[in-house]
Structure 1
């Protein structure tokens, strides 16, 4: 069966069974709405570390032996030393709190001030301010920990300032829930305005948003099969799906409108539109999906989380556009025509002629900018861990952190997990770490129990916090950030000391060592993902156009736009979250390749009956409106994230996406046409050869089928 016959059969099935398809999608939407609330959101980046790294192994052992506790730091203003003690006792009694480290941990505060070690006291009480370090029974994201924080805030009242990983996670959870809803409302309004300005019917924008809304709801509901998703995925997947996949519905509606303009009846027009646009929609969707699928192969498995969700969203969007949207268009075709209005956007013929004249100048400028940008993008400053996203500047958590830091300096919790084999060795290790200049305190059973008192007589409820049959736990506070060069240096030094005493089965755990592991894992991941996604997209483009040369030419402007976009943070001195950098690279590649495929396809269609100059001008004029519509939607979506999100990682991603979309429009409309005209002869030559090879293969296939049919007829004749 010929390819166009198969296409015809598929299109007829879609049109003839549109009511059944509508019912199926209706059921999927209802099920997805029911399932969505049961999808958990994870805020802890360390959970995505590969199981082979030291930190992950240590976390798993600690969870089994002690539980992996959340931590926080609380500063209380305007209190006396003895009032602070009362607050400390109340906090320690809160359900969910395991350990509270304060001045009375190592000092008898009731003795005369002359006998109190002032240096030790000033670590916890100074100038009417008191600070306490809190370890919770459960993890940072646990509901028990969250409830404990609420109770602590009730106890402390207006006098309190709070920081730490548990506080950051709680803030992320609360802010994200509010921001996702507000971003969705603002994005829909802005996108609706863009669609109204770029379409020719008042109903079309509503239809586009309806189709994409269904695809987004189904995608969110099917996340139930993943169990949980990361907060990064939760916050950006819907708006990225809406912005990136909107192209497909625009392509189909544009084809339908053209068919109607040529006098075809609605049912005939939608059939023509499906046959004309299905290839573009499928190949654009495939190229975009491959870009996201590359993320799933990251060792740092948040890439798998994000990649599956985004790739799934694109597949669902393609299916929704090709299967469900035709039914909507047919049902509302009369209303679409009745609500038609004059175009708000002018024709782009004059623009196309101007773009054609400056094409080589733009090409030269892009190449000049791309070379230093390629170097600059690798010189950016990055952050990697949880602390880089949980306490963004301008938030209450950030303000509290600064207040505590100004009074008492920084405090960074590290936990050492060692074999419980020697009480003497454990004490020696505690003393050596405690002697380090940057160590604030060390809590271990060996340095807490007074000399001469055997551990065996102590109740299990006391020793179990720091000792099990197999392992001993040590809590170390150092005066550094969670993530900095100094923190990494201190972590490495403590790690080496621990390994000196316990070469095997010992682990250093905490925000800093985990961030170090994330950093080393994710940088390797990016180099792999970047090359793989580029190769996958190139392969799709090559298959779509049957030309390796055209695939390379399409990718050249896209990569130039990515280099220039990623160089901006370095030029202005911004720090980026590395995971956001990887995601935006994939999003920009995935979105811009859609525009590039459309431009190349329009150029080749025009080139079949026009010279290269006229074909280029026509391709620019025809491609610019849909590319401008889609690109502005993506850019505005990113800008909304940038302006509304209090979470640094998400706001930074939004800014990169917004700028990247604008650069994508520019290179596709202005740079790619220059490459197409410059390499016109070899492109046409390659494609003509490919077409001839395809025709010969098809001819041989038809001849073979004909011989088989004749043989069957002969056999039937003989049998008769």
Structure 2
């Protein structure tokens, strides 16, 4: 079976005893390791139930961001309420009032703002000016703004929305962040389960076609399943993960980390074919596999770790979980899989079948034949693609959580917006110092053309009525000891140039009345902050990921030119992947732009590394470049296509299954990016390798000389050490011999003296 063999020859030059102690520990303690992993899976499955999912992107703003400061103050003083917009119809004005009162009585609802706050709807029709209330009632439809007692994700809020939906029945239409959270909570788990099941089935089919045993796909999926469960359970250490992490982490871990188990099994199979017993075979397989598996994992981990350095901390959330998943996958493959191979090695052998894949020799001939055409086409495309990828229409905030067309949440939103226009809440939190100033500010805000309503306690209380006579349970909604809250509904979407212009103007007006201590927050200001922070994060993250992966490749190959060669096809693939939305007019989530850039680089650069390493090995056997590159493509194509197909299937699975725009868009970018990377590696990299061949061979020769010199130095040191030991041994023997002679001479003198004494005694007698 063909699979990733990158850096094998290079690492074989290292002493094989390097990992002997660890490998011996793994092989000898297989049963204990199995029990430890079984225990870890049980505990992790239990812990995974307590990991919470967050759907609010503003939660990941740094504490120094203006909108986050406002959120923190508001949450401390008033709580962080969830919001929704409800339309009821067709109803009469009086029926609408009845619905409003019933909704206000639902447990979990804090405030309902409707036409009756400014107009007496019980007056006779001739006395009601319907033009004054058309923002709340027209064409027999009424729309209400709901503020809940608790946050969007609260179970009390979800229960309140459920009761409202039941109460209004077919006449109810719902939108807003709380409604989106409830919908996401109900659909994401189901959709991700479907995507995961479909991914497993498709990956199993791919593995059955590309392996030579029916049991191998089961083993691979079992190993990855164990690693995924442990990764999900250990997320409890951070308590809460983002909805993006929850949606993509498991399925990406399955797709990206599959190669490690494939490589170890391939090495084990080759060792068994030599006639070794299973224990010896797995020991030798580990010796040969560990360096290459760790090098492959390092490039992917680097791509994810860089995300953790983003100031917009959802990058930390996703990067940590994905990097942790790769580390756990590596540990599962290197520690658990050897024991399972020893346990089930015979099953693999009994279920062997012939290979279903071609030799790919024809592909090598084709690639070599069109090499200059490919190089010319890429040279013409790369600059326009680079420019276009930076000119996309991006989304940044919670608007990305919106459901796709065809879902009830999407249809309800379109119905409400088409009748009453768009509406979004901006919150001003100002010092509670002067009721007159607060009322003047409220009146100024109400006069703005794009403001539907501005609600404050000072603006609501009738003139001359003191706050002290109002129950505290009512005033606490808008006043605390230190702060006042003003709720401003603006006629705009949550993310647009017009919305940001409105937010900036409102901020300027509030600062005129309250030069110090005022905060502006809400969805629109938060989205503004996300945009400014995340766009600055991109350049930093992108450059750092390229440098990190390049450093891993440089250390692995001990080369300066190879990192450049292997990165060019992947970066070109990234440019093309993100240029396509510009030409098709698609909006993409900027966060997805960053995530997929790092993921595509870290996960698919392995394809370039594999082909480059195979070329370096084959070139020693076939010095002619044309022949070497054809053999290289033939040898590498199956592994690259297998890995790339798995990642493509996973990405497009998310794209077609998820009804959440952000997740579907992310899946589309991942699937298309993996496919383009495969094409670039198979068609662009070979011509780059042949063009750079003189430099590669010069570096390889120099590297071999350095290795030979290094080995010679080691041999000299060994010889010198052995010589010293021999000399010491000789000196020790000489000293021992001298000491023995001296002792013998001493004994002779003693014997002579005794003999003389005996003679004297005899003479005396």
Tell me which of 552, 561, 583 is aligned to 2:573: 561
Change (3 A) 1:425 1:353: same
Q: C-alpha separation between the residues in 1 aligned to 2:701 and 2:35?
A: 44
Alignment of 1:227-626 (within 5 A): 227-611=239-623, 612-626=625-639
Q: Deviations over 1:102-155 (max 9, x none)?
A: 111111112233443423322111121111110011111111111111111122
1:649 maps onto 2:662 in alignment: yes
Distance 2:498 2:458 in 1: 28
1:640 paired residue number: 653
1:12 corresponds, among 8, 24, 32, to 24
- Are the structure 2 counterparts of residues 446 and 706 from structure 1 closer, same or farther at C-alpha, using a change threshold of 3 Å? farther
Q: Report the Cα distance in structure 1 between the residues aligned to 2:333 and 2:47, rounded to whole angstroms.
A: 23
Mark the CA change 1:187 to 1:33 in structure 2 (over 3 Å): closer, same or farther.
same
SS of residue in 1 equivalent to 2:79? coil
| Structure 2 counterpart of 1:55 | 67
Find out whether 1:186 has 2:198 as its counterpart.
Answer: yes
Distance 1:278 1:360, change over 3 A: farther
For the residues of structure 1 that align with 2:709 and 2:240, how far apart are their CA atoms? 51
Partner-residue secondary structure (3-state), 1:38 = coil
* Residue of structure 2 in register with 1:679 after alignment: 692
Q: Provide Cα deviations, 1:274-308, integer angstroms capped at 9, x if missing partner.
A: 22332221111001000110000000000000000
Residue 658 of structure 1 corresponds to 671
State the Cα distance separating 1:3 from its structure 2 match.
3.5
Task: Tell me, in whole angstroms, the C-alpha distance in 2 between the residues paired with 1:698 and 1:421.
Answer: 80
**Greater mean alpha carbon deviation, residues 271-280 or residues 378-387:** 271-280
1:400 Cα deviation from its structure 2 partner: 0.4
Asked if structure 2 preserves the Cα contact closer than 8 Å seen for 1:370 and 1:563, the reply is: yes
CA-CA distance at 1:31 after TM superposition: 1.3
Bigger drift between 703-712 and 202-211 goes to 703-712
Residue 700 of structure 1 and its aligned partner are, at CA, apart by 4.0
- Partner secondary structure for residue 427 of structure 2: strand
CA distance in 2 between partners of 1:420 and 1:109 (Å) = 32
Return the alpha-carbon distance in structure 1 between the equivalents of residues 59 and 443 of structure 2.
31
Q: How many aligned positions are there? A: 720
When structure 1 is superposed on structure 2, of 553-562 and 454-463 the one drifting more is: 454-463
User: 1: distance between equivalents of 2:14 and 2:182?
Assistant: 59
C-alpha deviations, 1:371-398, integer Å up to 9, x for none?
2100110011111111222333222111
C-alpha RMSD over aligned residues: 1.9
Deviation at 1:703, TM superposition (A): 5.0
Greater CA drift, 585-594 or 272-281: 272-281
* Shift, 1:714, TM fit: 7.8
Structure 1 residue 339: Cα displacement: 0.9
Work out whether residues 215 and 316 of structure 1, in 8 Å CA contact, stay in contact via their aligned partners in 2.
Answer: yes
Using the size of structure 2 for normalisation, the TM-score is 0.91
Q: Following superposition of structure 1 onto structure 2, how do residues 22-101 of structure 1 map, counting pairs within 5 Å?
A: 22-101=34-113
Equivalent residues of 2:425, 2:489 under 8 A apart: yes
Choose 1 or 2 for highest CA Rg.
2
The one-character-per-residue Cα deviations of 1:494-529 (angstroms, maximum 9, x if unpaired) are: 111111111221111111111011111111111111
3-12 vs 374-383, which moves further: 3-12
Query: Structure 1 residues 259 and 301, CA, compared in 2 at 3 Å: closer, same or farther?
Result: same
The 2-side partners of 1:708 and 1:468 are apart by: 81
Distance 1:616 1:13, change over 3 A: farther
With over 3 angstroms needed to count, the CA separation of the structure-2 counterparts of 1:566 and 1:391, relative to structure 1, is: same
More deviation in 8-17 or 388-397?
8-17
- Is the 8 Å Cα contact of residues 130 and 138 (structure 2) preserved in structure 1? no
SS at match of 2:221: helix
Contact 2:430–2:518 (8 Å) recurs in 1: yes
CA shift for structure 1 position 159: 1.0
Partner of 1:146: 158
Quote the Cα distance in structure 2 between the aligned partners of 1:713 and 1:259. 39
Measure how far apart 1:551 and its partner are.
0.6
CA distance in structure 1 between the partners assigned to 2:720 and 2:234 by the alignment: 48
Q: 1:608 to 1:2 in 2, by over 3 A?
A: closer
DSSP 3-state at the match of 2:144: strand
Is residue 36–residue 221 contact of structure 1 (8 Å, CA) maintained in 2? yes
Judging changes above 3 Å, is the alpha-carbon distance between structure 1 residues 507 and 589 closer, same or farther for their aligned structure 2 residues?
same
**Residues 284 and 593, structure 1, Cα contact 8 Å, conserved in 2:** no
CA contact (8 A) 2:608 2:681 kept: yes
